[in-house]
Amino acid sequence: MDNINNNILGQFIGGRNAKTFRRLYEKLKDKVKHYYTDNWEVYRKIISAEKLTQGKEYDRNGTKQLNIRHYLARMTRRTKVVTKSIEMLNITLRINCYLNEYNGYQIYQQKFLSIFC
């Protein structure tokens, strides 16, 4: 996440483990100059010390993740938010990112409201 603009820079579907993070890091390493993260030890193993600042105060993903879970709640069953298709989850996350991060809602809202004027 870009802490200045509060935009999502990339996503990768997988578990919270070193393998998944390494794949995300490889995708972002040329775009990101410095990383501000929580204290998860995997970050220290993969990101060089001069590009990494860690601490709980730098973790700004919590609210963003809650919002994503809220928007994806259409995939609910009684006890958990689920989807059986990784492809469908990936497409849904991309649509969510467009609508919420890049003003997609605003574009469609303007088009919709213009029919009443």
64 vs 85, which has greater pLDDT? Answer: 85
Question: Looking at this protein, which amino acid is placed at residue 109?
Answer: Q
The pLDDT value recorded for residue 94 is 82
pTM assigned to the model? 0.57
Tell me the residue length of the chain.
117
Q: What are 99-110's pLDDT values in tens digits?
A: 777 777 777 777
Above 70 in pLDDT, residue 38? yes
- 34 Cα distance to chain centroid: 17
Summarize the confidence of residues 54-64 as an average pLDDT: 70
Q: Whole-angstrom Cα distance, residue 23 to residue 108?
A: 33
Instruction: Answer with the residue of higher pLDDT: 68 or 44.
Output: 44
- Give the whole-number percent of the chain exceeding pLDDT 90: 13
Helices (H) and strands (E) in the chain, counts: 5, 2
Cβ-Cβ contacts under 8 Å for 22 (sequence gap 6 or more): 46
> pLDDT: is 62 or 37 the higher one?
37
pLDDT at 89 exceeding the cut of 70: yes
Domain limits, the chain: 18-114
> Which pLDDT value is given to residue 13?
76
